[in-house]
Chain A
Amino acid sequence: MFSSLMLVSLLVLTLPIMSSIFNTHKNSTFPHHVKNTISYAFITSLIPTMMFIHSGQETIISNWHWMTMQTLKLSLSFKLDYFSMIFVPVALFVTWSIMEFSLWYMHSDPYITRFFKYLLTFLITMMILVTANNLFQLFIGWEGVGIMSFLLIGWWYGRTDANTAALQAILYNRIGDIGFIMAMAWFLFNTNTWDLQQIFMLDPNLTNLPLLGLLLAATGKSAQFGLHPWLPSAMEGPTPVSALLHSSTMVVAGVFLLIRFHPLMENNKTIQSLTLCLGAITTLFTAICALTQNDIKKIIAFSTSSQLGLMIVTIGINQPYLAFLHICTHAFFKAMLFMCSGSIIHSLNDEQDIRKMGGLFNAMPFTTTSLIIGSLALTGMPFLTGFYSKDLIIETANTSYTNAWALLMTLIATSLTAVYSTRIIFFALLGQPRFLPLTLINENNPFLINSIKRLLIGSIFAGFFISNNIYPTTVPEMTMPTYMKLTALAVTILGFTLALELSLMTHNLKLEHSTSVFKFSNLLGYYPTIMHRLPPLANLSMSQKSASLLLDSIWLENILPKSISQFQMKTSILISTQKGQIKLYFLSFLITLTLSMLLFNLHE
């Protein structure tokens, strides 16, 4: 009952794709069909989730035997444990809302059917990733979401920026994939299995190498520092794509992977400190980058990146359940933030610059409400969704024996979260309108309202429900001094007040000379400037000059074919000049003949 219902809800998702193969004439209703299907899948998946919460029974199902190679058995196998059972309904719920939102956002797109098919395929690959029980199946989902993100970022394929961003996403993801493949190879070599439960049961020693690989994979997929620039660039895609892939589902895949492999990580201190530092650097760096951006989607993208860093920090302090909790709660309000920004962007005729917004408080009351609630949830305002995960994370980090620098960076980043949230609210919603007066603003579309409303309710209550059902396996600290308990709140409030004061104060001031701090933040820490120019230039000129021109066209040509033909040409010219010395020729024949007779007749 439990597992079959879960499989039903996964199978339901494939129905629209199957049906679209057979009847192509009902194109106009296809998007609605997809949306309804996802809502059915969501409702179906709720039943097994409830049963799971009630009984706490983890299940592994093996369905279809794919092949057995030597000693390795590969079969279609699903792992229905706490993480997948909670994440599936959350992802389906968020996707349902985003699908409905896309009906409004993409309604004028001639290829809306294809867009929905892409989104649905993405959702299926994400479900494969989440429920996979062996590494190969996980890899299918892992690569699948990568490719779907390529296709969806490059949705407006006429634009160069979109194509570059799509390629960039694939490039960074692929670098991460090297780590994944290395981990697969290591596990195959050392544990002779790709099944998760077998790997954990064998609990191999010296797991630095595979865990480093997995960390690299997570760095690529979850846009951690070093491989982060693709996430803000991915905002070239349509807003529903940003809401679904680049905030709530695909980008958390890396964190999810680390959570999955937590049984191996919890005993490996080296990897944990690395994870912690990586997460802390990411969360601070991207929060700094978010401060000075003017593109509303970019700000939210950097904030996503920063939150992903926070999740990685949580894994670094050995609290995978909290990281998972943050994944779930983050999905609600971040998807909603993107949808709100989509609503604003669409209403202002594709204007994304927050400096050209302002005063939307009056024009778009519903969007404003949602945006503010979403921002507050993001900053961890008490009793909104974000509070239940974020506050716990900060508290646990505060009370754990951990790297003080990493902790400090995380705290600063938390404070900066409030700062950039205030900035969005201040510039986009408050003050005087700065957009063109003839813009037709209308947010009264049921698709828009309903979808945002659903996530709005989620952003208020979801954290409470999910955090109540979390397992007390790795116990968070129960008692702590008051000042530690209040740290998270204090830094957030500090961020809010500072940002508000600064914004009010400097609103009418002109920035004469941009300071180096400003430049650092605005140019994303000079990272793209350096990394997107020097290494590609070096690589491409290497491949052109040394690989293609020097080696292939000159050296390899000259060493073998050209020199031989030259040699043949020279000798034939030399020899073919007839001198008419018939006696000499015969003599040379005679010598050869005699020599060969002498040499080869000796061994009889």
Chain B
Amino acid sequence: MLKIIIPTIMLMPLTWLSKKNMIWINTTTYSLLISLISLSLLNQPSNNSLNFSLMFFSDPLSAPLLVLTTWLLPLMLMASQHHLSKEPLTRKKLYITMLTMLQTFLIMTFTATELISFYILFEATLVPTLIIITRWGNQTERLNAGLYFLFYTLMGSLPLLVALISIQNLTGSLNFLLIQYWNQALPDSWSNIFLWLACMMAFMVKMPLYGLHLWLPKAHVEAPIAGSMVLAAILLKLGGYGMLRITTMLNPQTSFMAYPFLMLSLWGMIMTSSICLRQTDLKSLIAYSSVSHMALVIVAVLIQTPWSYMGATALMIAHGLTSSMLFCLANSNYERTHSRTMILARGLQTLLPLMAAWWLLASLTNLALPPSINLIGELFVVMSSFSWSNITIILMGANITITALYSLYMLITTQRGKYTHHINSIKPSFTRENALMALHMTPLLLLSLNPKIILGFTY
């Protein structure tokens, strides 16, 4: 694993030693190379995990998330170029350093073998993200957003620390590789219910569960483009990853503790996608759509069947790429109209036809058009929730319908119709932006050819 981590750390000196006109090119190329190295992890030759050391391992669950993480860094760098073009050189370098640091933490989080080191790194990712949001956000509300982001996550995850220490005391180990074989049923007691809550809440807040999601739209809206991308694509998936890892040791409590959270998620996904229908703010719409998609992942993880785990993993990867792409598209609008309001950017298809094609593709993947991996994820979740209880199909079906509606509403509002007069003289789309969208879209399309590499450990 060091062959990914050390190059990533070395990105920082590269940034600081690069010449003024080379910082973007150097870092983007270099991080792209790192992501190419990480691709080899997708080949998991045996059912067991790949052990690299006592500290790091990777298995079919973490490998796709890891590859997504490394893949996203060059994309974030490409997306931020325009946003930072007016900044002085040192700040640009600082920004890139922050992104790199975040990347390092994320890689280590996804590959940590110990729950405690996972926890520490999980918390450590907050720091660079917070700095990115509060330093490079566009409006003053970014400070408030940063507060929300920090406090929700911290408050949610502090009980986890206590729980982890108590589990360490109980079992003597917090190693993921050992936990698989430990698998002892927790006795049925009040304290274990609290243990369950403490373990799950941290990740539920991160996902976020409906009701605890307030930080997410704020953070997404206020963050600069790279922040939104990494939040939607990876940081939310930390929650899903953590839940998938930790539920193995929380049996049999999950079977009855899951009910309120399942209900909340099922209800919340309808509510949040209905909110999307009324959003005027493009980034906020995409953020709420993330909440609604992540609710599906929560449902899938709590149902705890092989199919639902496959669906959860596939949906996390698919949503990571799709929502990140949508944020990039929203940002390309923002850079031209200087507003996130959708109605101010309508009719763009006439002016930027190629960008409209990307919008179309992104919206279609967001509404899970077959045979994209988004559909595979959603379909598996729907299948498993249907077998869990037939009635859920009503809620799931409603959500599928509303998702299609708001995705296409977004598409129609921004791309179709007559364009407004104030966007007569906008810049054409750059090759950089088109490349950025292509780099989002290509993995989505290629993965639909062979989805089994992102189906996780129950495949």
Partners in one complex: yes
Listed in ascending order, the chain A residues whose CB lies under 8 Å from chain B are 67, 69-70, 136, 139-140, 143-144, 147, 150-151, 154, 157-158, 160, 163, 166-167, 170-171, 174-175, 177-178, 181-182, 184-186, 188-189, 209, 539-540, 542-544, 547-548, 551-552, 556-557, 560-561
- CB closest chain-B residue, reference A536: B277
B277 with A189: CB separation less than 8 A: no
Interface 1/0 per residue, B335-362 and A, CB below 8 Å: 0000000000001011000000000100
Given the complex of chains A and B, what is the CA–CA distance between A521 and B310 in angstroms?
Answer: 51
Report which of A166, A185, A543 forms a contact with B275, defined as CB distance below 8 A: A543
Interface flag for B22 (CB, 8 Å): no
B386 with A186: CB separation less than 8 A: yes
Given contacts A185-B383, A539-B274, contact A557 B393 (CB under 8 A): no
What does DSSP make chain A's interface, helix, strand, loop or mixed?
helix
User: Which residues of chain B are near A543, meaning CB under 8 Å?
Assistant: 271, 274-275, 277-278
Given the complex of chains A and B, what is the CA–CA distance between A542 and B267 in angstroms?
Answer: 14
B370 with A143: CB separation less than 8 A: yes
User: Which residues of chain A are near B152, meaning CB under 8 Å?
Assistant: 560-561
User: Which residues of chain B are near A540, meaning CB under 8 Å?
Assistant: 277-278
Report which of A150, A160, A175 forms a contact with B408, defined as CB distance below 8 A: A150
* Docked complex: B205-219 residues within 8 A CB-CB of A: 211-212, 214
Q: How far is the CB of B422 from chain A (nearest CB, A)?
A: 18
B393 with A178: CB separation less than 8 A: yes
Given the complex of chains A and B, what is the CA–CA distance between A186 and B364 in angstroms?
Answer: 26
User: Which residues of chain A are near B307, meaning CB under 8 Å?
Assistant: 69-70
B151 with A561: CB separation less than 8 A: yes
- CB closest chain-B residue, reference A188: B383
A154 with B412: CB separation less than 8 A: yes
Given contacts A177-B400, A181-B379, A561-B151, contact A189 B386 (CB under 8 A): yes
Q: How far is the CB of A151 from chain B (nearest CB, A)?
A: 8
A189 with B387: CB separation less than 8 A: yes
* Docked complex: B364-402 residues within 8 A CB-CB of A: 364, 369-371, 379, 382-383, 386-387, 390, 393, 396-398, 400-401
Report which of A69, A147, A185, A552 forms a contact with B387, defined as CB distance below 8 A: A185
- Determine which residue in B214, B277, B347, B370 has the highest number of CB atoms from chain A within 10 A of its CB, and name it: B370
- CB closest chain-A residue, reference B397: A178
Report which of B360, B371, B405, B415 forms a contact with A171, defined as CB distance below 8 A: B405
A557 with B214: CB separation less than 8 A: yes
Q: How far is the CB of B371 from chain A (nearest CB, A)?
A: 5
A140 with B370: CB separation less than 8 A: yes
Given the complex of chains A and B, what is the CA–CA distance between A69 and B452 in angstroms?
Answer: 8
Given the complex of chains A and B, what is the CA–CA distance between A557 and B213 in angstroms?
Answer: 10
Report which of A69, A548, A551, A561 forms a contact with B459, defined as CB distance below 8 A: A69
Given the complex of chains A and B, what is the CA–CA distance between A150 and B415 in angstroms?
Answer: 14
Give me the 4 closest cross-chain CB pairs, A-B, nearest first.
A178-B397, A543-B274, A185-B386, A157-B416
- Determine which residue in A143, A177, A189, A557 has the highest number of CB atoms from chain B within 10 A of its CB, and name it: A143
A548 with B278: CB separation less than 8 A: yes
B408 with A548: CB separation less than 8 A: no
Q: How far is the CB of A187 from chain B (nearest CB, A)?
A: 10
B404 with A170: CB separation less than 8 A: yes
Interface flag for B191 (CB, 8 Å): no
A556 with B386: CB separation less than 8 A: no
- CB closest chain-B residue, reference A545: B278
User: Which residues of chain A are near B34, meaning CB under 8 Å?
Assistant: none
Interface flag for B417 (CB, 8 Å): yes
Given the complex of chains A and B, what is the CA–CA distance between A279 and B34 in angstroms?
Answer: 60
A70 with B306: CB separation less than 8 A: yes
- CB closest chain-A residue, reference B450: A67
Q: How far is the CB of B453 from chain A (nearest CB, A)?
A: 10
B452 with A67: CB separation less than 8 A: yes
B379 with A184: CB separation less than 8 A: yes
Can you sample 28 A-B contacts with CB below 8 Å?
A70-B306, A70-B307, A144-B369, A147-B369, A151-B360, A157-B416, A158-B416, A158-B417, A160-B417, A163-B416, A163-B417, A166-B408, A175-B401, A178-B398, A178-B401, A181-B379, A181-B393, A181-B396, A185-B382, A185-B383, A189-B383, A189-B387, A542-B274, A543-B275, A547-B274, A552-B275, A557-B214, A561-B151
Interface flag for B451 (CB, 8 Å): yes
Interface flag for B135 (CB, 8 Å): no
Interface flag for B455 (CB, 8 Å): yes
B393 with A182: CB separation less than 8 A: yes
Given the complex of chains A and B, what is the CA–CA distance between A557 and B409 in angstroms?
Answer: 28
* Docked complex: B149-176 residues within 8 A CB-CB of A: 151-152
B214 with A552: CB separation less than 8 A: yes
* Docked complex: B256-278 residues within 8 A CB-CB of A: 271-272, 274-275, 277-278
User: Which residues of chain A are near B401, meaning CB under 8 Å?
Assistant: 171, 174-175, 177-178
Given contacts A185-B383, A543-B274, A561-B214, contact A158 B347 (CB under 8 A): yes
- CB closest chain-A residue, reference B384: A185
Report which of B382, B400, B459 forms a contact with A174, defined as CB distance below 8 A: B400
User: Which residues of chain B are near A70, meaning CB under 8 Å?
Assistant: 306-307
A167 with B412: CB separation less than 8 A: yes
Report which of A166, A167, A182, A551 forms a contact with B397, defined as CB distance below 8 A: A182
Interface flag for B457 (CB, 8 Å): no
User: Which residues of chain A are near B383, meaning CB under 8 Å?
Assistant: 184-185, 188-189
A167 with B405: CB separation less than 8 A: yes
Given the complex of chains A and B, what is the CA–CA distance between A70 and B306 in angstroms?
Answer: 8
11 additional A-B pairs beyond A157-B349, A178-B393, A561-B152, beta carbons within 8 Å, are A67-B452, A151-B360, A154-B412, A178-B398, A178-B400, A181-B400, A182-B386, A185-B382, A540-B277, A543-B277, A547-B272
Interface 1/0 per residue, B189-217 and A, CB below 8 Å: 00000000000000000000001101000
User: Which residues of chain B are near A184, meaning CB under 8 Å?
Assistant: 379, 383
Q: How far is the CB of B190 from chain A (nearest CB, A)?
A: 20
User: Which residues of chain A are near B390, meaning CB under 8 Å?
Assistant: 209
Given the complex of chains A and B, what is the CA–CA distance between A211 and B415 in angstroms?
Answer: 38
Given the complex of chains A and B, what is the CA–CA distance between A561 and B154 in angstroms?
Answer: 13
B310 with A69: CB separation less than 8 A: yes
- Determine which residue in B151, B347, B369, B371 has the highest number of CB atoms from chain A within 10 A of its CB, and name it: B371
User: Which residues of chain A are near B379, meaning CB under 8 Å?
Assistant: 181, 184
Q: How far is the CB of A207 from chain B (nearest CB, A)?
A: 14
Given the complex of chains A and B, what is the CA–CA distance between A200 and B138 in angstroms?
Answer: 59
Given contacts A154-B416, A185-B383, A540-B277, contact A136 B214 (CB under 8 A): no
- CB closest chain-B residue, reference A182: B393
- CB closest chain-B residue, reference A167: B408
Given the complex of chains A and B, what is the CA–CA distance between A310 and B83 in angstroms?
Answer: 59
Interface flag for B91 (CB, 8 Å): no
- CB closest chain-A residue, reference B407: A170
- CB closest chain-B residue, reference A173: B404
- CB closest chain-A residue, reference B412: A163
Q: How far is the CB of A204 from chain B (nearest CB, A)?
A: 15
Given the complex of chains A and B, what is the CA–CA distance between A551 and B212 in angstroms?
Answer: 12
Interface 1/0 per residue, B304-321 and A, CB below 8 Å: 001100100000000000
Given the complex of chains A and B, what is the CA–CA distance between A182 and B379 in angstroms?
Answer: 10
B275 with A548: CB separation less than 8 A: yes
B278 with A556: CB separation less than 8 A: no
User: Which residues of chain B are near A182, meaning CB under 8 Å?
Assistant: 386, 393, 397
Interface flag for B56 (CB, 8 Å): no
Report which of B214, B386, B408 forms a contact with A170, defined as CB distance below 8 A: B408
Interface flag for B30 (CB, 8 Å): no
Report which of A140, A160, A185, A552 forms a contact with B371, defined as CB distance below 8 A: A140
- CB closest chain-A residue, reference B404: A174
Given the complex of chains A and B, what is the CA–CA distance between A184 and B396 in angstroms?
Answer: 14
User: Which residues of chain B are near A160, meaning CB under 8 Å?
Assistant: 417
B275 with A157: CB separation less than 8 A: no
Given the complex of chains A and B, what is the CA–CA distance between A154 and B417 in angstroms?
Answer: 10
- Determine which residue in B306, B307, B397, B409 has the highest number of CB atoms from chain A within 10 A of its CB, and name it: B397
User: Which residues of chain A are near B275, meaning CB under 8 Å?
Assistant: 543, 547-548, 552
Q: How far is the CB of A229 from chain B (nearest CB, A)?
A: 16
A561 with B416: CB separation less than 8 A: no
Report which of B271, B370, B404, B418 forms a contact with A144, defined as CB distance below 8 A: B370
Interface flag for B148 (CB, 8 Å): yes
Report which of A175, A178, A209, A544 forms a contact with B278, defined as CB distance below 8 A: A544
